[in-house]
Chain A
Amino acid sequence: MRKNLLFSRYAIAGFVVFMVFVTAFMLGTYMEGVRNESLRVNIEEQRNELNDLLLQYQYISELEKQQNCEALAVIFHESLEQLDTQSQRLQGYEEQRKLENSDYKRLRKAYTVSQVNYWLLAKRLKDLCGMQYSDILYFFSSPKNCADCENQGIHLDYVKKRLGDEVLIFALDGSEEGIIALLKANYEVERFPTLVIDDVPYNYSTNEEIIEILCAENDYGWCA
């Protein structure tokens, strides 16, 4: 004779699974609350960071008068690292869709403004201190409006990894208004992607082409 069905066993197994589900759901809800709160704090922090960056910019501008290039270079690169952290955090939240659209737009705008600020600063430092690096403005758009932008991003990322601090890349969302519209008009950007390498606009370019352009105008050690 087979052993009888133990309904209690089925019920206990069901109860355990139910409890796991409820616990996971409650923890998930709790974590979502924590995440929302953290995002609010993050947004606030990022605003402060931006203000700090702007302040640093002003301070550096002051230092410029004092011709203190060494201090300028240190602060400049530290600030760029901060900007890079901001960018990665923003990208992460964007990919995980963990950000309300309005928050994302606000952060994106703030990020773009600081990108332009740093680009302007980079150009001034180059003239002032004779620092040797190239700057690239990268105008991109959403995948719907720019089929090649993902590939262009890969090429630029690779160039940055290969050349390090000798090339500064500033990615700008071409669909934004304000300063971006002004830059687009200035460089006659009509399609995406467009690269402005040391003030000269180019269409989609591979990493080999970008390096070739950089080497044609500059004498970097890695060009050989």
Chain B
Amino acid sequence: MIQSFTFTKVFIWIVFMFFLYYAVFWFLVLFEPEPKVKRKRYKQWPHVTIAIPLFNEEKSVEPTVRSVFGLDYPRSKLHVVCINDGSTDKSLQVLRRLKKEFPIEIMSQTNKGKYVALNKALAKTKSPFFVSLDADSMVEPDALKILLGEFTKKEVAASMPIMKVDKPKNWLMRWQQLEYMTSVYLKTLMQERDCIPVAPGPFTVYRTEAVKAVGGYRKAHYVEDLELALRLQAHHYILRQSDAAIISTRAPQTLGQYYRQRLRWYGGTFRNAFDYRWMVLRRAYKDFGVIQIPVLMSAGFLAMFAVFFVYLAQAKSFWYNLKYLYLTNFDLWTYFSTMTFTWDVLNTDFFVFACTVTLLLLSALLIKLALNTGRESFTRKHVPSTVTFLLFYSTVTAAIWFMVGLRTLMGKSGWTR
């Protein structure tokens, strides 16, 4: 044997197999007969409380409230509560103006966090269904009726829509659009095995009784929606997603905003999954305990290390090129104009080639299926964002997971909001 196996290669193989196993496991759902679930029909539409917590959302809260009152739902059955969480901008003035136009209830508190705001609304509600709605999201008119139709049995505690990025303007937002859609698609597969791990903040409809029974919202490392979903799973409730109900949400537009949001999400995911580690391999939790919680705890860090090792393998070449440019006074013209590309098939690292091709193909398949689910066809406009998403998004998320790991090791428990 000429070629040697290094620790790096073995590690990347293991991570590759791990993600391949996870992907195959969920793709197998596609080969199962689709269960015929009858949607719940209501003789009379039930009362619903929609809680909109907000902190400094003066620009976005108005479209959110307007979209709520654009819902195809009897107004007499809707109770809309806006909870101002100590905003320092003009959010409260905007709410007061909206109150003249729409029947909304305004609650105020000093800045205590979203979970406190939601609990405040939850405590007061007498509606059988409770909806949390982020103040940066807009709901489509038919969403509420569709989501209520998912509560076919008492164990169903939550029903969530599919989430899209509202008017993606730049490459970062288009990347997030793809990410949201692939995540939504995976959840459509996961719900077949009762494995949905998160109910998003925008417009998840909860059975009030169930949420109150498990104790309402918690601080939960600033990802209260994920933690509530885990807690509902821990109490054997069922979470559903309907791909017929759509909500659009404002995604971060700049890298800074994106970084802060993801630091909170990823850090919160890891910490909450770790808090619920006791569910791992418990027979009572079936697939959720066997595959979902372990993956939630480990996938981010494993992917981070894999990406790190892939870059480490390229580091020598990168360092050489950097040194080359430095020693030649950054003469970029000569550097690029004399650059040649040669590819010797026999000199290709077959292992890296196999991993890369398989993962890219799987990701492309996932994106294709996700676009179908989101009722979007793959057009020319998707090409640049999809290609860059496939090539670079893992690096961006790996960098954020690195920061999550670093902050965890440094004992920083609070996550940037």
Q: Does B21 contact A (CB under 8 A)?
A: yes
In the complex, identify which listed stretch (B75-83, B246-254, B341-349) lies at the interface while the others stay far away.
B341-349
Bitwise, B32-43 to A at CB < 8 A (1) or not (0) is: 000000000000
Instruction: Pick from A21, A93, A150: contact of B347, CB below 8 A.
Output: A93
A154/B327 in contact, CB under 8 A = yes
Chain A interface size band reads 35 or more
Name 11 A/B residue pairs within 8 A (Cβ), A-sorted.
Answer: A1-B236, A2-B287, A3-B193, A9-B28, A13-B25, A17-B20, A27-B354, A96-B349, A150-B320, A155-B327, A158-B328
- The interface residues of chain A lying within 8 Å CB-to-CB of B193 are 3
Which chain A residues have a beta carbon within 8 Å of chain B's beta carbons?
Answer: 1-5, 9-10, 12-14, 16-17, 20-21, 24, 27-28, 31-32, 34-36, 38-39, 88-89, 92-93, 96-100, 150-151, 154-155, 157-158, 161-162, 206-207
Q: Which residues of B contact A12 (CB under 8 A)?
A: 24, 28
Contact with A along B174-198 (1 / 0, CB 8 A): 0000000000000000001110000
Report the Cα distance A172→B17, complex, angstroms. Answer: 45
B17:A207 contact, CB within 8 angstroms: no
Is B4 among interface residues, defined by CB-CB distance under 8 A? yes
Is B354 a contact of A24 with CB atoms below 8 Å?
A: yes
Contact call B327/A158, Cβ cutoff below 8 A: yes
B288 proximity list for chain A (CB < 8 A): 2
A89 and B344 within 8 A (CB): yes
Measured in the bound complex, the distance between the Cα atoms of B287 and A1 in whole Å is: 13
Q: A31-B350, A38-B346 are in contact. Are A97 and B20 (CB under 8 A)?
A: no
Interchain CB contact (< 8 A) of A13 among B2, B24, B346, B351 = B24
Contact A158 B334 (CB under 8 A): yes
Given contacts A16-B24, A158-B334, A206-B327, contact A32 B3 (CB under 8 A): yes
Bound-state Cα–Cα, A47 to B287, Å: 62
Instruction: Compute how far the CA of A17 lies from the CA of B362 in the bound complex, rounded to whole angstroms.
Output: 13
A207 contact set on B, CB distance < 8 A: 327-328
B364 at interface, CB cutoff 8 A: no
- Assembly CA distance A143 to B287 (angstroms): 54
Q: A10 touching B25 by the CB < 8 A rule?
A: yes
Q: Which 7 A-B pairs have the closest CB atoms?
A: A13-B25, A161-B338, A13-B24, A24-B354, A2-B286, A158-B328, A35-B346
**Overall SS of chain A's interface:** helix
Query: Which B residues are CB-close (under 8 A) to A10?
Result: 25, 290
* 7 extra interface residue pairs, beta carbon distance < 8 Å, beyond A13-B25, A27-B354, A207-B328: A3-B287, A13-B24, A17-B24, A20-B20, A32-B3, A98-B347, A150-B323
Alpha-carbon distance A147/B1, docked complex (angstroms): 31
Which residues from A are CB-within-8-Å of B290?
A: 5, 10
Q: Give residues in B with beta carbon < 8 Å to A.
A: 1-4, 17, 20-21, 24-25, 28, 155, 192-194, 236, 283-288, 290, 320, 323-324, 327-328, 331, 334, 338, 342, 344, 346-347, 349-351, 354, 358
Complex-state Cα separation, A108 to B323, whole angstroms: 26
Distance of A169 Cα from B129 Cα, bound (Å): 80
Measured in the bound complex, the distance between the Cα atoms of B288 and A10 in whole Å is 13
Structural contact, A2 and B285, CB atoms closer than 8 A: yes
State which of A14, A31, A39, A97 has its C-beta within 8 Å of the C-beta of B21: A14
A100 to B3, CA, bound (A): 10
B287–A99 touching, CB < 8 Å:
no
CB distance from B101 to the nearest CB of A (A): 45
Residue of B nearest to A99 (CB): B2
Residue of A nearest to B284 (CB): A2
Q: How far is the CA of A100 from the CA of B194 in the complex (A)?
A: 54
Cβ contact within 8 Å between B342 and A88:
yes
Alpha-carbon distance A39/B327, docked complex (angstroms): 35
Q: How far is the CB of A78 from chain B (nearest CB, A)?
A: 18
Contact, CB under 8 Å: B286 / A98: no
Within 8 Å by CB of A151, from B25, B28, B323, B349, lies B323
Q: Report B27 CB to chain A, min CB distance, Å.
A: 9
Whole-angstrom distance between the Cβ of A138 and the nearest chain B Cβ: 15
* CB proximity of B97 to chain A, nearest CB, Å: 47
Partner of A34 from the list B4, B194, B346 (CB cut-off 8 Å) is B346
Select from chain B the residue with minimum beta-carbon distance to A23.
B354
Closest to A31 in B: B350
Do A28 and B20 touch (CB < 8 A)?
A: no
| Cα(A35)–Cα(B3), bound, Å | 11
Residues of A near B351 (CB, < 8 A) are 24, 28
Known: A28-B350, A32-B1. A21 touches B17 (CB 8 A): yes
A189 to chain B, nearest CB (A): 23
> Shortest distance in angstroms between A9's beta carbon and chain B's nearest beta carbon?
6
Contact A151 B327 (CB under 8 A): yes
The residues of B that contact A13 with a CB separation of less than 8 Å are 21, 24-25, 28
Query: Shortest distance in angstroms between B336's beta carbon and chain A's nearest beta carbon?
Result: 11
Please tell me if the beta carbons of B358 and A20 are within 8 angstroms of each other in the complex: yes
- Chain A contacts for B24, CB-based, 8 A: 12-13, 16-17
Residues of B within 8 A of A38 (CB): 346
Complex Cα distance, B4 from A162, in Å, reads 38
In the bound complex, do residue B350 and residue A27 qualify as a contact, i.e. CB atoms below 8 Å apart?
A: yes
Contacts of A96 in B (CB 8 A): 347, 349
B373 CB to closest chain A CB (Å) equals: 21
